[in-house]
Amino acid sequence: MAADNTAALIKAVEAALAGDWHGAHNIAQDYSDNTANWIHAVLHKIEPDEWNSRYWYRRTDKEYEDYEDATEEFRAILAMLGDNSL
């Protein structure tokens, strides 16, 4: 993960958790690292667009089936990004 996008990716996850799917998606699609792709995958899982979600998961080290709950998955992403505020 590029250090310069951490704050943006945290904002993307916070937007998703606040119900702003489009805002989160707009941020996530601006980056192509593993974490941004993971966020992108979860967003499409929520949509739901399983095919697109699985495409984005293939670009990460995660699996579609790793988490059943998107909120739990987003919290795991925040923890990985070093933000434990939520």
| Residue-wise pLDDT tens digits, 7-39 | 999 999 999 999 999 999 999 999 999 999 999
Residue 4 pLDDT: 82
Residue 85 has pLDDT above 70, yes or no: no
The answer to whether the beta carbons of residues 13 and 24 sit under 8 Å apart is: yes
Residue 70 has pLDDT above 90, yes or no: yes
Task: Give the C-alpha distances (Å, rounded to integers) separating 54 from 2, 64, 79.
Answer: 23, 6, 22
Average pLDDT, the chain: 91
Output the pTM of the full model: 0.90
Q: What's the rounded Cα separation, in Å, for the pair 82 and 64?
A: 23
Q: What's the rounded Cα separation, in Å, for the pair 65 and 67?
A: 6
Residue 1 pLDDT: 41
